[in-house]
Amino acid sequence: MIAPSVLAHSWVDCVKYDPNTHQCLGYPRGYKGREDKDINGNASLEYTNLFSGSPASQPMCKSTQQTENYSTIYPMATAQPGETIYTSWQQNGHLNNASPTKVKILYYPSSSQTFSDVSEKDTAMVAGTMDYATDGNCYNPSEPNTVCFNSWTVPTDLVPGQTYHFVWFWYFNFNPAGEWYTTCFDVNVQDASHVAQGGSMDSLLKLGEPPLAYIQGIERNPDAKAEISDVTSLGLSNSNDTPIAHAADSSSLSPVDSSSTEVPTSSALATVPMPTEYSTSDAPVAPVVTDTPATSPVSSSSSVIAVYTSSSAAKCRPRPTSL
C-alpha cells in the first residue's frame, strides 16, 4: 500500500533576519527573491528540495544550491562565534500547535567539509532545533503565507575568517512514508558582525510582520546595507542567556531586559575582544573592554549598546508573486 502524499513545501527566505528592524542581512544559496515569476508555479524546480519516502541516499542540496552561488543583491550571511541567528521562512499552511514539526540546523565544524548526501543528517552536528510553525513563532498564525522565524546559535568553535556550510532541515512528518525538505546556505564567520538585538519571541512577534520587501535584496535596500555595516564584537560567554550592554566608555557591564525592543541608533563601536574560551557557568562573563584607539571615530565619551541573546497537515496556498 502506498502512503498518501501530503502537499507541502517550504524553504528559507532569510538566513539572517533581524526581527527588531525587519531587515534581511543574509540569504540562502541561489536565492532569487519572491518577485521571481517562477516562485509559485515552478517552486518545486526553483526552491523546494523534497525528500519523499525517507530515502537512504539523495543529494542533500538541490542542484541549484550545490555551490556558493550568491550575488551582491542576495549575499551570504556574516556572523561571529556564539551569535544568535534568526532565520525566517513562510508558514505555507502548516501551522501546528499540538504537535509542531521540527527544523534542525545542521553543520560541520570544519570549513573544508560540505554536505553531499541526505544520509549525513544522522551524523552531522546540530546547531539548533526549532519549531517550524506555531503561534509562538509565526506573526499571523491564521494567515497561511505568514512569515515564521526562529533562532539558533552559531557554534563557538567556528574559526573567524572562514566560511562554513549549513543545512536547514525540515522534518515534515505527516506523511507516513517520510517527507523532508532542505535549504542549503553558508555563513562567513568573522570576529565582528551586526548582531540583532533579540528579545523574547513574544515581544518580537508584537513588533508586527515585515512587508514582503524585507527580502528584496541588499543592494536595493539602503537600510539593510547600513545595518550590515554596523558591526560589533560580542566577547560574551555563549552559555549566558542574559543580554549584556557594552559601554564604549567604560568596562562596566549591565544586564539588559531581553524583552526590550529598543534598537541602537549609533554606529559607534565598542572595542571588545572575542574570548579565547567560553564559560559553562550560568553567571554572566564580563569581557575586558579595551581603550578605544586614538584613530577610532569613537570618542571616549560616546556610548553604544550591542546586545546578544542566547536563546495539521494542510494544503499549501499560492504565494505572492510581487512585492
Angle at 167 between CA 276 and CA 263, to 5 degrees: 60
68 three-class SS:
coil
Beta strands in the chain (DSSP E): 12-14, 17-18, 23-24, 50-52, 77-79, 84-90, 102-107, 125-131, 147-153, 163-171, 179-189, 244-246, 253-255
Q: Return the DSSP state at 3.
A: P
C-alpha cell at 16: 539572517
Q: List pLDDT tens digits, range 224-236.
A: 999 999 998 875 4
Q: Per-residue pLDDT for 223 more than 70?
A: yes
Question: Can you give the pLDDT at residue 235?
Answer: 56
Report which of residues 152 and 173 the model is more confident about.
152
CA dist., res. 284 & res. 290, Å (int): 18
Report which of residues 156 and 8 the model is more confident about.
156
C-alpha cell at 133: 510553525
CA-to-CA separations, 21 to 25, 147, 170, in angstroms, rounded: 11, 14, 26
Please, which pLDDT band fits residue 173 given cuts at 50, 70 and 90? confident
Overall average pLDDT of the 164-185 stretch: 91
What residue has cell string 570576529? 191
C-alpha cell at 194: 551586526
Report which of residues 181 and 239 the model is more confident about.
181
